[in-house]
C-alpha cells in the first residue's frame, strides 16, 4: 500500500472487469449438467462445483467486496462486462434473453453507483438482427458505454457476412466492441487441453487475435472506418506481429486486398488494455508501436490480482501524462465516460 500512496492520486478506470448474474450462472450450469462438450466448460465445471474458487462469488458482488477492493487500491471505476464465455454457448433465444437481462442489470448497477461503474453491453450473435436491436437499446435507452463479445460463437467469427449487422450497429452507434477471449473452438482447444493451455495460459490470446485479423480481412475497417475494437492482455500479441503482418500482407498473395496495411488498422481501429499483462517491457513496446492514445488500464477482476495491477501501473517508468492517458483519459474518450470532477490535470485530486 505504501507504494501506491507515494504517487500523486490519479483517477483509475479499470476497463476489463468481469461480472455475472444468476441467470448466466444457471444457463452455464444447465449446459454443464447436460454433458455439453464445449471446451469452456472444462473450467466452468470447476468454477460451479463444491470446491469452486472463492473469487467466483465476486463476479456477482458489485455492492460489497468489489467496492471495498476498489477503495483500498484507489480504483475509481470498473467498466463491467459479462464474464467469458458470455452468452455464446447458448441456444439463440436463451442467449438473447440472458444478454438482455445482463444489460438491464448493468443499467441498474450504474444507477446505484453512477460514479463507480460503467458497463459494456452483451448481445447474442446467434441472432444478428436481434443483436443489433439490443445494441441500439443498450446505448440509446440504457446508457451503457460500449459492447463486449466473448470471441467466437459456435466456432464462427464476426467476419462472417451474417454478422455484418452487428459491426454496422457498433459503427453507427460509435461504440467500441471489446473482444474478450474464450477457449478456442474445439479442434484447436483439443490440441491445447493436454497441458491446460486452452484458456488464459495461451489459447485465449490466439483465439482473440485471430478474431481481429479475420475482421480486418473481411474489409470491415474499410467499410466502417470509425469501428473500434478493444483487445485485452496488451493486444493479444498483435502489436508484436505488426511488422510481420505487413510483410506477408505485401508478399503473401492469397489474402484479400485492403486499403491500408494491417499495422495501420491496428493503430487506427484497435485499442488495447493492460489486463493480465503487468510487465513493463510489454507496456513500453506497446507505447512505442501504438502510442499513448491507444492503451487503457485494466485489471481483469476478479481473475487477476488487483493490487498487482495498480502497483505496476503506479510504478512503471513512464511520464505521468502518459500514465494519466492509460489510467483514465483514453477510457473516458473511447467509452464516453464523463470526466470526474476535480481531475482536470495530472496529479489532480481523485474524486472516487
Q: In Å, what is the CA distance from 289 to each residue of 86, 233, 241, 266, 296?
A: 31, 16, 11, 10, 15
Place of cell 465476486: 58
> Of 67, 17, 70, which Cα lies nearest the Cα of 296?
17
Q: What is the pLDDT of residues 155-186, one digit of tens each?
A: 999 999 999 999 999 999 999 999 999 988 88
Give dist(CA 302, CA 241) in Å, integer. Answer: 29
Active-site residue among 40, 159, 278, 300?
300
- Position 9 scores a pLDDT of 78
List the single range of 158-167, 183-192, 337-346 with lowest mean pLDDT.
337-346
Give dist(CA 201, CA 280) in Å, integer. Answer: 19
Q: In Å, what is the CA distance from 304 to each residue of 16, 157, 166, 168?
A: 11, 27, 30, 33
> Of 113, 125, 53, 104, which Cα lies nearest the Cα of 79?
113
Catalytic, 57? Answer no
Q: What is the pLDDT of residues 130-148, one digit of tens each?
A: 999 999 999 999 999 999 9
Give dist(CA 118, CA 334) in Å, integer. Answer: 12
| Band of pLDDT at residue 73, cut at 50, 70 and 90 | very high
The pTM (predicted TM-score) of the whole model is: 0.93
pLDDT, greater one: 52 or 317:
317
Q: Are 60 and 21 in contact (CB under 8 A)?
A: yes
> Has residue 197 got a pLDDT over 90?
no
The mean pLDDT value for 213-237 works out to: 98
The mean pLDDT value for 328-350 works out to: 74
| Band of pLDDT at residue 351, cut at 50, 70 and 90 | very low
Q: How far apart are the first and last CA of the chain?
A: 17
| Band of pLDDT at residue 282, cut at 50, 70 and 90 | very high
Q: What is the pLDDT of residues 21-57, one digit of tens each?
A: 999 999 998 998 898 888 888 878 878 776 677 778 8
> Has residue 74 got a pLDDT over 60?
yes
Give dist(CA 260, CA 18) in Å, integer. Answer: 34
Give dist(CA 88, CA 105) in Å, integer. Answer: 19
Q: Are 84 and 153 in contact (CB under 8 A)?
A: no
26 grid coordinates: 444457471
Return the percentage of the chain with pLDDT > 90, whole number. Answer: 78
pLDDT, greater one: 49 or 1:
49
- Cβ neighbour number for residue 93 with a 10 Å cutoff: 12
Give dist(CA 101, CA 95) in Å, integer. Answer: 10
- Position 349 scores a pLDDT of 36
> Has residue 343 got a pLDDT over 80?
no
- Position 194 scores a pLDDT of 87
Report the DSSP pairing between strands 270-273 and 229-231.
Answer: parallel
Give dist(CA 245, CA 254) in Å, integer. Answer: 13
Q: Are 178 and 146 in contact (CB under 8 A)?
A: yes
Q: What is the pLDDT of residues 75-129, one digit of tens each?
A: 999 999 999 999 999 999 999 999 999 999 999 999 999 999 999 999 999 999 9
The mean pLDDT value for 177-200 works out to: 87
Maximal C-alpha separation, the chain: 55
| Angle at the Cα of 269 from the Cα atoms of 157 and 296, rounded to 5 degrees | 100
250 grid coordinates: 505485401
Q: What is the DSSP string of 200-243?
A: TTTHHHHHHHHHHHHHHHTTHHHH-TT--EEESGGGTTTGGGHH
Average pLDDT taken over every residue of the chain: 92
Counting every residue written for the chain, the total comes to: 352
> Has residue 344 got a pLDDT over 50?
no
The three-state DSSP-derived secondary structure of 176-199 is: CEEECCCCCCHHHHHHHHHHCCCC
- Domains defined for the chain, CATH in brackets: 2-333 (3.20.20.140)
| Band of pLDDT at residue 342, cut at 50, 70 and 90 | low
Q: Are 18 and 59 in contact (CB under 8 A)?
A: yes
Residues with Cβ < 8 Å from 347, sequence gap 6 or more? 8, 9, 10, 320
Q: What is the pLDDT of residues 238-264, one digit of tens each?
A: 999 999 999 999 998 788 999 999 999
Amino acid at each position: 500500500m505504501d507504494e501506491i500512496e507515494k504517487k500523486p492520486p490519479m483517477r483509475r478506470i479499470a476497463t476489463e472487469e468481469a461480472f455475472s448474474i444468476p441467470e448466466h450462472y444457471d444457463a452455464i450450469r444447465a449446459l454443464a449438467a447436460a454433458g455439453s462438450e464445449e471446451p469452456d466448460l472444462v473450467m466452468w465445471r470447476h468454477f460451479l462445483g463444491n470446491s469452486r474458487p472463492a473469487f467466483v462469488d465476486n463476479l456477482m458482488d458489485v455492492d460489497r467486496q468489489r467496492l471495498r477492493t476498489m477503495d483500498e487500491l484507489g480504483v475509481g471505476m470498473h467498466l463491467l462486462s459479462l464474464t467469458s464465455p458470455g452468452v455464446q454457448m447458448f441456444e439463440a433465444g436463451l442467449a438473447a434473453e440472458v444478454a438482455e437481462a445482463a444489460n438491464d442489470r448493468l443499467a441498474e448497477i450504474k444507477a446505484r453507483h453512477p460514479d463507480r461503474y460503467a458497463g459494456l453491453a452483451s448481445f447474442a450473435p446467434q441472432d444478428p438482427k436481434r443483436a443489433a436491436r439490443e445494441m441500439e437499446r443498450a446505448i440509446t435507452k440504457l446508457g451503457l458505454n460500449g459492447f463486449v463479445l466473448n470471441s467466437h460463437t459456435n466456432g464462427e467469427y464476426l467476419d462472417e457476412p451474417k454478422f455484418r449487422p452487428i459491426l454496422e450497429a457498433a459503427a453507427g452507434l460509435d461504440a467500441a466492441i471489446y473482444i474478450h477471449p474464450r477457449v478456442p473452438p474445439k479442434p484447436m482447444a483439443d490440441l491445447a487441453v493436454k497441458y491446460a493451455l486452452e484458456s488464459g495460459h495461451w489459447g485465449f490470446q490466439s483465439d482473440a487475435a485471430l478474431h481481429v485479423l479475420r475482421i480486418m480481412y473481411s474489409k470491415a475497417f474499410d467499410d466502417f472506418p470509425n469501428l473500434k475494437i478493444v483487445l485485452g492482455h496488451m493486444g493479444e500479441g498483435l502489436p508484436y506481429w505488426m511488422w510481420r503482418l505487413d510483410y506477408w500482407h505485401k508478399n503473401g498473395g492469397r489474402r484479400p486486398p485492403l486499403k491500408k496495411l494491417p499495422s495501420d488498422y491496428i493503430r487506427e481501429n484497435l485499442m488495447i488494455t493492460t489486463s493480465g499483462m503487468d510487465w513493463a517491457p510489454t507496456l513500453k513496446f506497446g507505447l512505442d508501436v501504438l502510442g499513448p492514445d491507444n492503451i487503457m488500464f485494466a485489471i481483469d477482476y476478479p481473475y487477476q490480482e488487483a493490487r498487482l495491477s495498480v502497483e505496476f501501473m503506479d510504478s512503471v517508468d513512464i511520464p505521468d501524462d502518459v500514465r494519466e492517458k492509460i489510467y483514465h483519459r483514453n477510457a473516458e474518450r473511447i467509452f464516453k465516460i464523463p470526466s470526474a470532477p476535480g481531475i482536470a490535470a495530472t496529479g489532480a485530486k481523485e474524486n472516487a
